[in-house]
Amino acid sequence: MNVLVTRRLLPGVLDPLRRWAVDVWEGEGPMPRSELTKRVADVDGLLCMLTDRIDAELLAAAPRLRVVSQMAVGVDNVDLGACTARGIPVGHTPGVLTETTADTAWALLAAATRRIPEGHDHVRGGHWGPWDPGLLLGGDLWDTTLGIVGLGRIGSAVARRARGFSMRVLYTGPRRKPHLEARLRVTYRELDDLLAESDHVVLTAPLTPETRHLIGRDALRRMRPDATLVNVARGGLVDHEALYEALIEGWIGRAALDVTEPEPIPGDHPLVGLPNCLIIPHLGSASERTRRAMAELAVANLERGLRGEPLVHCANPEVEHP
């Protein structure tokens, strides 16, 4: 059987696939669309990244394809309906990246709220003068209210960490999760109320038609003028034009983004130049240990799919249990 891997991965992780013919894209960036379309023609298994668009057109170019295995938890780049229609299971990598991504959310929240990048620039720029009681005053983390949009695995891990900072934690999502409320000490709010009551808002919801631009002008206007907005989910959750306006006009205090729309965000995008907007290049799960675990899980999903077995984590389980 033939396997295509759309990006070079950490050494050794593809070893379990040795018995099959494995084609790995060795190019610098993501696989160009034309190359991907060409190379899937005789492929049985595809190990892909969130930068690859897996849609009906691509599936049509891959008549032998029997499993798609994505090395990410989010699968908004994959047309699940089209895969399901073809009977193709789609693997993804939840669980293994939860804690690392929650750490990233906290790193962004702390850095932005306490203005760490501005302090770093201040020193690098040679501006550090005598101690100044008014220099770079930011917000607090301790004894504040954290609002989590999307209390899934990552949102729950973010909530757990909030206890160490003596925070009140609110959450919102498509439904209440009473079983988590006592365990995590979190309280449900409708989105509008959560936005109005939270000092910090962290987005951990998947990107779907329902969540696209969930944080637009109306939402940002409901937030507190000193609030921090953190996005470790997908850039598409936030209307970036509205966010720019919000940061310039002071509707919110600051934003910290691991993900943007588009991605990569151009260096001359107005958000990039704002001192109250911290942006990092989609590093949520980027620890060595976690990226290895994600690759290993993606390989395990692929192997199982090729053997016709249920995947470890399947994003369209209706394929496996029709």
Residues with a known catalytic role: 234, 263, 282
Q: Does 284 bind ligand GLV (CB under 6 A)?
A: yes
Q: Does 91 bind ligand GLV (CB under 6 A)?
A: no
Pairing of strands 277-279, 21-24: unpaired
272: helix, strand or coil: helix
Binding mask 18-57 for ligand GLV (x = CB under 6 A): --------------------------------x-------
Q: Which residues contact 227 (CB under 8 A, 6 or more apart)?
A: 198, 199, 200, 201, 252, 253
Q: Does 97 bind ligand GLV (CB under 6 A)?
A: yes
- Of 162, 51, 49, which is closest to residue 105 (Cα–Cα)? 162
- Least Å distance, CB 227 to ligand GLV, is 24
Q: Does 207 bind ligand GLV (CB under 6 A)?
A: no
Q: What is the CA radius of gyration of the chain?
A: 21
Q: Which CB sits closer to ligand GLV, 97 or 169?
A: 97
Q: What is the 3-state secondary structure (H, E, C) of 172-239?
A: ECCCCCHHHHHHHCEEECCHHHHHHHCCEEEECCCCCCCCCCCECHHHHHHCCCCCEEEECCCHHHEC
Question: CB under 6 A: which stretch of 72-80, 81-89, 176-184, 195-203 binds ligand GLV?
Answer: 72-80
45: helix, strand or coil: strand
Number of residues that bind ligand GLV (CB under 6 A): 7
Q: Does 73 bind ligand GLV (CB under 6 A)?
A: yes
Task: Find the angle CA(238)-CA(239)-CA(245) to the nearest 5 degrees.
Answer: 115
Please give the structure tokens belonging to residue 116.
């760490």
Q: Does 301 bind ligand GLV (CB under 6 A)?
A: no
Question: CB under 6 A: which stretch of 3-11, 69-77, 168-176, 243-251 binds ligand GLV?
Answer: 69-77
Q: Does 72 bind ligand GLV (CB under 6 A)?
A: yes
- Least Å distance, CB 202 to ligand GLV, is 15
Q: Does 285 bind ligand GLV (CB under 6 A)?
A: yes
What are the CA-CA distances from residue 285 to residues 101, 273, 299, 301, 303 (Å)? 5, 25, 17, 19, 23
- Least Å distance, CB 71 to ligand GLV, is 8
Contact 219, 88 (CB under 8 A): no
- Least Å distance, CB 50 to ligand GLV, is 6
Contact positions vs ligand GLV (CB under 6 A): 50, 72-74, 97, 284-285
